[in-house]
Amino acid sequence: MRKKICLVLTIFCWLVMMPARAQYVNLSGNNPDITEYVESNEDNWNKSIMYIFYSNQPCPLCSQAMGMIYDIYEEYFINQFNLFEINYTDEDEYGMQESYNLSQPLSVVLVRINDGISRGYYKIENPQFFVNDPFYFKQRLLSEINNFLNT
């Protein structure tokens, strides 16, 4: 019994302490979606993008995570980013899947826009893994986004 408890605690600690699967890509240039975004509104010339990418994969916690992400966006980042929710498995969105190397059921991609050009992106994969602890979810996402804004 004691071994089982230790095993469960070890797995729990490993899941909580494992680093976020996040990736920063320093990349200047534009794909057609960024060009259209910037050209559609002059206010977007220096306003970065927050994408919430989801797929058709079964994901019981994704909708809850998406709601929590949207709440964080509205409370903290509405002036720094424009938010878009995109099902990247749709036929029309294949370019997004390729551009941001998407394969998980849920990912948040932050794209830095300066002077009308994409300067890089930061991808946070599988935030739904942390919805069971709303405080941790919020702190972790805030930390990831603020780190991106400060790079």
Distance between CA atoms of residues 114 and 58, nearest Å: 36
Contacts of 121 (CB under 8 A, 6+ apart): 24, 25, 27, 100, 109, 110, 111, 112
pLDDT of residue 55: 95
DSSP per-residue codes, 79-99: TTEEEEEEETTSGGGHHHHHH
Q: Cβ atoms within 10 A of the Cβ of 82, count? A: 18
Distance of CA 131 to the CA centre of its chain: 14
Q: Where are the domains of the chain?
A: 19-149
150 vs 143, higher pLDDT: 143
Task: List, in sequence order, every residue forming a beta bridge with 25; answer none if it has no partner.
Answer: 121
Q: Indicate whether 11 pLDDT > 50.
A: no
- What letter does residue 123 receive in the DSSP assignment? E
Q: Which two tokens stand for residue 63?
A: 């909708």
Read off the pLDDT of residues 14-59 as tens digits, 9 standing for 90 and up: 344 444 445 555 555 666 678 888 888 888 889 999 999 999 999 9
Read off the pLDDT of residues 108-146 as tens digits, 9 standing for 90 and up: 999 999 888 888 899 999 999 999 999 999 999 999 999
User: Class for domain 19-149, per CATH?
Assistant: alpha beta
